[in-house]
Amino acid sequence: MTQSEITSRRFQFDDWDAAQEHYLDAGMTDGLPIIPPTEQRVRAMLDHAGLAPGDVIGVESIRQKRMTAEKVAINAVMAGCKPEYLPVVVAAAAAVCEPLFNLHASSTSTNGIAILVLVSGPYANEIGMNARTGMMGNGNRANATIGRAINLLKTNFYGSTAQDMDQSTLGYPGKYSFCFAENVEVSPWPSLAVSKGFHADATTVTTFAANSPLQVSAHGGKDPEDFFSGSAHAMQGLGPSISEVLVVISPELMSYISEAGWSRERIAEFLCTKTQAPAKQWAAWHRIDQAVALQNPDATLGCVQEPGRITVVPGGGAAGAFTALIASWASSRSVTKEVQLRR
Amino acid sequence: MVSRSDQLVTLDPRDEGVPNTDVLAKRPTTLDGKIIGLLSNRKPHADELLRMIADAIGERYSLKGVVEISKASHQWPAGPDILKEMAGQCDVIIHATAE
């Protein structure tokens, strides 16, 4: 029987400021103040989602972490989430527990990844997520706090504490929060959720062990071959043999893509092919070991092994022709889960 | 827990699950006559580091042998096949990372 009581350890404080100092001093935050997770707030969040505290959201097998709804909700409250955001955070938490995501290695690596949460489907709009102007940046509560919640969960629950188990050499601001929604309004394609085989009304969360985004300017042309050639050139800068690349395409470029009739698959195929280069070229760029390249110098290597490892998603504001390229960490694969809603 | 009505009571966001209860294998009292396994994670120079350790141990003990095995990748744990193979062959295993 699922545990119905909230069993987490309690802390007592004389006031709000004392609580803030305790959470900051104990390394239970990302360095920013948090919303103190009272039982009342956590219970309200769980009740809204129809979850019991003891419901198991996922089990991460390497460190044998059993993630419960209670711990997910506590971290979501701390991040500033509204109760209606919890189903999205829960789906993301379940996704990162999947072995393919490789949470343990990716969250300890010197690469310094953040968990990127990409939301596709109608629930993103219902909870007011931003898929438009500045969607990867600040200014939207849902984006900011959902992304913050999953990264707090990584720190607090999973133990990937900054400067400790998290050995990021440099880190990047996405480690505070990295979350946005697909801009379906500017897309000629089915949503990413539908394209992955989910039903038409489904909302999904896709999680990436994401390195920092590389924004590529693509002004000056309307032919997808031209502007994606520029993006492919930039993508080579990410290096060869990347696990996956997420490509975000701005609405202006999406309008040209619609006119040209390009599909997601065609874009992925184009980028996969265009980033191919001989091993000796990658070695000349000092992106692979010279000795490895000498074994077969003319063998071609691309940024990714196959087009299926490139995810294409529309997003961003109406003005500006840009793509953003986001590489996944080493062997980590993106994982998609449907957001389970209580209707 | 008793708290004053004017106090703020909050919850711990960290994992409070029961820690893994695996126990350490029995340690040998000497390495004389033992087979040492060297488990590399394939990071650059991991092999060299492990061989240096094995050489240093070999100067102090009369080893029966040294077995070198590499994981498929530093990015994943050693698989059960490797662990079973090493457990069958070796008395002691040294694992190392390097760069």
The pLDDT tens digits of the residues spanning A155-195 come to: 999 999 998 999 999 999 999 999 999 999 999 999 999 99
pLDDT at B1: 54
Does residue A149 have a pLDDT over 70? yes
Average pLDDT of the segment spanning A113-137:
97
B:53-92 residues touching chain A, CB 8 A cutoff: 73, 75-77
In whole angstroms, give the CA distance from residue A32 to residue A22. Answer: 12
Residues A75, B9: C-beta atoms closer than 8 Å: no
What is the average per-residue pLDDT within B58-62? Answer: 96
User: What is the average per-residue pLDDT within A241-259?
Assistant: 97
Interchain CB distance below 8 Å, B8 and A8: no
Instruction: Let me know the angle formed at the C-alpha of A337 by A331 and A341, rounded to the nearest 5 degrees.
Output: 160
Residue A343 per-residue DSSP state: -
**Residue from A57, A100, A157 to probe the interface with B (highest B Cβ count within 10 Å):** A157
Residue-wise pLDDT tens digits, A34-92? 999 999 999 999 999 999 999 999 999 998 899 999 999 999 999 999 999 999 999 99
For A294-306, b where at least 16 C-beta lie within 10 A, e where not — what string?
A: eeeeeeebbbbee
Indicate the pLDDT class of residue A294, thresholds 50, 70 and 90: confident
Q: Which two tokens stand for residue A92?
A: 């993301």
CA A224 from chain center: how many Å?
26
Length in residues, chain B: 99
Question: Which pLDDT belongs to residue B72?
Answer: 84
Select the residue of B6, B14, B77 nearest A157 (Cβ to Cβ).
Answer: B14
pLDDT at B3: 64
Cα A325 to Cα A49: distance, rounded to the nearest angstrom: 33
What pLDDT is attached to residue B79?
A: 86
Q: CB-based contact (8 Å) between B17 and chain A? A: yes
Residue A85: DSSP 8-state: G
Output the CA–CA distances (angstroms, integers) from residue A126 to A90, A146, A181, A207, in the order listed. 17, 14, 11, 20
pLDDT band at B24 (very low <50, low <70, confident <90, very high): confident
The answer for residues whose C-beta is within 8 angstroms of residue A60's C-beta and 6 or more apart is: A67, A96, A97, A103, A104, A158
Cβ pair B9:A15 closer than 8 A: no
Cα–Cα distance, B38 to A122 (Å, whole number): 53
The predicted structure's pLDDT at residue B42? 85
Res B96: pLDDT: 77
Rounded CA-CA distance A214/A303 in Å is 14
Residues of chain B positioned with their CB less than 8 A from the CB of A42 = 11
Distance between CA B31 and CA B53 in Å, rounded?
13
Distance from CA of B24 to the nearest CA of A (A): 17
Asked if pLDDT for residue A99 goes beyond 70, the answer is: yes
How many of the other CB atoms lie within 10 Å of CB of A336?
19
pLDDT of B2 strictly over 60: no
The average confidence (pLDDT) of chain A is: 96
| Cα–Cα nearest to A196, from A335, A21, A16, A46 | A335
The span from the first CA to the last CA of chain A, in angstroms, equals 23
Give the mean pLDDT of B60-84.
90
Considering only CB atoms, which residues of chain A are within 8 Å of chain B? 6-16, 18-19, 23, 28, 36-39, 42, 62, 64-66, 71, 74-75, 78, 102, 105, 152-153, 156-159, 330-331
Q: How many CB atoms lie within 10 A of CB A89?
A: 30
Partnered with residue A210 across adjacent β-strands are A114, A328
* Helical (H) or strand (E) element with B94: strand B92-96
pLDDT digits (tens, 9 = 90+) for A252-290: 999 999 999 999 999 999 999 999 999 999 999 999 888
Give the model's pLDDT for residue A30.
Answer: 96
Residue A211 CA to chain centroid, in angstroms? Answer: 9
Higher pLDDT, B57 or A1: B57
8 A C-beta contact, residue A272 and residue A302? yes
Residue B8: enclosing H or E segment and its boundaries? strand B8-11
Q: Which residues of A153-179 are buried (b: 16+ CB within 10 A; e: fewer)?
A: bbbbbbbbebeeebebeebeebbbbbb
Res A28 pLDDT > 90: yes
Q: Indicate the DSSP class of residue A106.
A: H
Instruction: Assign A292 a pLDDT band (cuts: 50, 70, 90).
Output: confident
Around Cβ B10, how many Cβ atoms within 10 Å?
26
Are A92 and A52 in contact, with CB atoms under 8 Å apart?
no
Q: Region B60-88: what's the mean pLDDT?
A: 90
Residues of B in contact with A62 (CB under 8 A): 77
Nearest to A330 by CA among A300, A309, A308, A307: A309
DSSP SS3 for A293: helix
Locate the DSSP E strands across chain A. 10-13, 56-60, 65-68, 114-120, 179-181, 204-210, 214-217, 245-249, 277-278, 300-301, 310-314, 322-327, 335-338
In sequence order, what are the residues at sequence separation of 6 or more whose Cβ sits closer than 8 angstroms to the Cβ of residue A340? A87, A90, A91
Among B11, B15, B21, B83, the strongest candidate for a mutation testing the A interface, having the largest count of A CBs within 10 A, is: B11
- Asked whether the beta carbons of residue B1 and residue A12 sit closer than 8 angstroms, the reply is yes
Q: Rounded to whole angstroms, what are the CA distances from A168 to A5, A161, A163, A261, A334?
A: 37, 10, 7, 41, 20
Above 90 in pLDDT, residue B17? no
DSSP H or E stretch at residue B93:
strand B92-96
Cα-flanking dihedrals φ and ψ of residue A323, to 5°? -120, 160
Reported as a single tens digit per residue, the pLDDT across A295-340 is 999 999 999 999 999 999 999 999 999 999 999 999 999 999 999 9
| Structural contact between residues A280 and A309, judged by C-beta atoms closer than 8 angstroms | no
- B75–A105 C-beta distance less than 8 A: yes
